[in-house]
Amino acid sequence: MSSIHAQYPPLDSRPIKNTVCLFDVDGTLTPARRTVSPEMLSLLQQLRRKVAIGFVGGSDLIKQQEQLGVNGANVIDMFDFCFAENGLTAYRQGVALPSNSFIQWLGEARYKPLANFILHYIADLDIPLKRGTFIEFRNGMINVSPIGRNASIQERNEFEAYDKVHKVRETMVEKLKERFEDYGLTFSIGGQISFDVFPNGWDKTYCLQHVGGFETVHFFGDKTYKGGNDYEIFEDQRTIGHTVTKPEDTMVELKTLFDL
């Protein structure tokens, strides 16, 4: 265990017993694809002295490091539990836990038709802007973006507003579900510009296997509606779900719930 983890009480000695708080990243701890605020970090440090804390996000650990590990801090030292790619990459107090692989599960022979269909669909899609990186290949999933993940922050904001009206992602997801209904895949819309594709059961509930020793598991997320990438863990009977719309909401909830 690193010296940073040792600065906090052991997990079984936190004042609020057998309790862990898990947080989505984008829209919950940080604005979408932006860095965490000093105020949020300070509040999380206070919370960590009372309960165990962790994040669970769909992005890979590198992106979560960029958003949460400000001023050179290592994100795996800032939380008791770190769950990247819904927990396919996982750490408990700085120690790596067993991981899994999307491509090993699906196989190249089945992945290629899926990737080809996605790229052809996006090529034929008539939307105001297209940039680059339409499929991002991750350890536990693929992330698909009709506009492309290279879009600027302003372009992301514009696409999000456009998508709310024209349902670009929602329509594409329905086409994929129909075409690949025998693949056993979940298509989960999250963030501003993309959706995740992963095996059934590899949603954010995947991480709960690593916190099974806690009697109370709070989850905070913004995409808790059906089809959103927080929905399954929010609705899971093992969690107490909290819907927020922005980091400021999260801070208000935490101050009220834990007297911070």
Q: Which of 12, 26, 196, 203 is catalytic?
A: 26
The letter for the amino acid at 209 is: Q
Q: Is 60 an annotated catalytic residue?
A: no
Q: Of 71, 78, 56, which Cα lies nearest the Cα of 7?
A: 78
Residue with tokens 């670009």: 168
Residue with tokens 């490091």: 65
Q: Which of 12, 24, 124, 236 is catalytic?
A: 24
Q: Of 31, 26, 10, 58, which Cα lies nearest the Cα of 233?
A: 58
The letter for the amino acid at 186 is: T
Torsion over CA: 249, 251, 253, 256 (sign): negative
Angle at 194 between CA 219 and CA 122, to 5 degrees: 160
Distance CA 253, CA 220 (A): 9
Q: Strand 216-221 relative to strand 240-243: parallel, antiparallel, unpaired?
A: parallel
DSSP designation for 228: B
Q: Is 24 an annotated catalytic residue?
A: yes
Query: Rounded to the nearest 5°, which phi and psi values hold at 233?
Result: -75, -30
Residues assigned a catalytic role: 24, 26
